[in-house]
Amino acid sequence: MSNIMTKTRRRFILGAGGMALTPRAFAQGKYPTRPVKLIVPSPPGGGPDHVARLMAHIWSQRLGQQVVVENIAGASGQVATLGVVRANPDGHTLLFSPPTPITVAENFEPRPVYDARRDLVTAGLVGRNPALLVINSNVKANTLKELIALAKAEPKKLFFGSPGLGNTLHLVAEIVCAKAGMQMTHVPYKGSGPAVVGLLGGEVQMLVQSAESVRQHVQSGRLRALATLESTRLEAFPNVPTLAEAGLANLDIVNWYGVFMPSSTPREIQETLEGEVLALTRDATFLKRMKEMSFDPVVMPAADFNRLMAAERPQWAAAIKAAGIDTIKN
């Protein structure tokens, strides 16, 4: 997954050339003609919500119409995704999504009633969300090796939380547990915010979560970060080792955010939105805020993003099978 991301990142993170570098003129009455809904398939307060609201603010100014974020949770993002699939394909209802309902949900039963490859097209990738493996500070482990030893000594007596069944971060935690030989009990929550609250309150002992959503709690000492899920250390957490440095192989899994719309959306609207995605690389506010929130502001055009997703699908399927995750009941 990371090879495609790394090559494209060099081209687009700061110097995207060409497309939509100045605000477009829509005086001719063409798209958009009314407010645009940006659907986020999770509750307010999580990583996708923060980035979507930042992007909506910027796009509202550039497009000359209000871009409004709407949170629709349920079935690991499938409820929101289906709503966008069935929306009028005129570019006024968009999906801002992580991988879960796009490249992951197809691996579970019941399968989504939509086909993301057939029913959706993308305007591009907007950013990626580095993740950390964190534990409650009351857990008697200062390293990942110590946590593994603790979990092996008491199989299934330790609990790990997630933002929901089938969520990408749930699957990553399952994969880490399988690789480490840890038998822990999964506790699904309705979103990242409740999952973090559950970890802080001691309902669960471990969580794989986006860096931005646990940053202040790690800094305050209420949570302890044992590893980053990235292949290199994070700038915001220079003392937190990678999985490989902590004793496990790196997973090489990318937690991205992308913009999607119904596949029958007119090509000129798709191109307009792709141009607006690429224009984010020249927006100082976007770059600054993404860094402040511990997001990676990498941007990718539709063609490259499609290649990334095509490469990702079999890797997710293989990783899920290897971890013994057979089915997710939504």
Quick one: 124 and 260 in the same domain? yes
Q: What is the CATH number of the domain that holds 118?
A: 3.40.190.150
Give the best-scoring range by mean pLDDT among 167-171, 179-183, 326-330: 179-183
- What global pTM score does this model have? 0.81
Query: Are 286 and 307 found together in one domain?
Result: yes
Q: Would you state the pLDDT for residue 167?
A: 84
* Amino acid at the residue 59: W
- The yes-or-no verdict on residue 11 having pLDDT over 80 is no
Q: pLDDT (tens digit, 9 = 90+) per residue, 133-165?
A: 999 999 999 999 999 999 999 999 999 999 888
Where does residue 140 rank: exposed (0-12), middle (13-18), buried (19+ CB within 10 A)?
A: exposed
Same domain, 120 and 220: no
Q: Give the pLDDT score at 28.
A: 42
Domain assignment present for residue 328? The answer is no
Long-range Cβ contacts of 3-7 (<8 Å, 24+ apart): 4/304, 4/307, 4/308, 4/311, 5/128, 5/254, 5/256, 5/298, 5/300, 5/308
Residues 279 and 178 in one domain: no
Q: What are phi and psi of 259, to 5 degrees?
A: -100, 130
Answer yes or no: do 135 and 211 share one domain: yes
pLDDT score for 327: 53
> Of 198, 215, 246, which residue constitutes the final position of a domain?
246
Question: Is 137 found in the same domain as 111?
Answer: no
- Tell me the DSSP string of 218-233: HHHTSEEEEEESSSS-
Taking the C-alpha atoms of residue 36 and residue 315, their distance in angstroms, rounded to an integer, is 34
Of the candidates 198, 201, 238, 220, which has an alpha carbon nearest to the alpha carbon of residue 209? 198
Q: What are phi and psi of 13, to 5 degrees?
A: -65, -35
CATH code: domain of residue 142: 3.40.190.10
Closest CA to 328 of 161, 164, 206: 164
Supply the DSSP symbol for 104.
I
Please report whether residue 330 resides in a domain: no
The pLDDT score that the predictor gives to residue 18 is 39
Q: Side chain identity at 51, as an amino acid letter?
A: V
pLDDT band, residue 29 (cuts 50/70/90): low
Residues 173 and 151: their CA atoms lie apart, in Å, by 14
Q: Are residues 152 and 8 in the same domain?
A: no
| Residue percentage of the chain with pLDDT more than 70 | 90
Looking at the predicted structure, is the pLDDT value of residue 12 above 70? no
Above 50 in pLDDT, residue 17? Answer: no
Domain stops at, among 200, 216, 246? 246
Length reported for the chain = 330
Local confidence band at 4 (pLDDT 50, 70, 90 cut-offs): low
How far is Cα 177 from Cα 172, in angstroms, rounded to an integer?
A: 9
Q: Same domain, yes or no, for 281 and 213?
A: no
Q: Is the dihedral of CA 70, 75, 76, 78 positive or negative?
A: negative
Whether the upstream peptide bond of residue 89 has omega within 30° of 0, thus cis, is no
Q: Are residues 262 and 125 in the same domain?
A: yes
Structural domain for 195, as ranges: 131-246
Tokens 């090509």 identify what position? Answer: 267
- Torsion 189-193-198-204 (CA) sign: positive
Does some domain include residue 184? yes
Q: Which range (3-12, 30-39, 261-270) has the least confidence? A: 3-12
Residues 97 and 168 occupy one common structural domain: no
Query: What is the count of structural domains for the chain?
Result: 2
Residue 329 lies in a domain: no
Structure tokens at 89: 């394909």
The tens digit of pLDDT for each residue in 37-95 reads: 999 998 887 788 989 999 999 999 999 999 999 999 888 899 999 999 999 999 999 99
Does residue 327 fall inside a structural domain? no
Domain final residue pick, 226, 246, 266: 246
Q: Are residues 64 and 136 in the same domain?
A: no
CA atoms within 13 A on the CB side of 175: 25
Residue 223 has pLDDT above 50, yes or no: yes
| Model pLDDT for residues 294-314, shown as the tens digit of each residue | 888 999 999 999 999 999 898
Q: Are residues 122 and 175 located together in one domain of the fold?
A: no
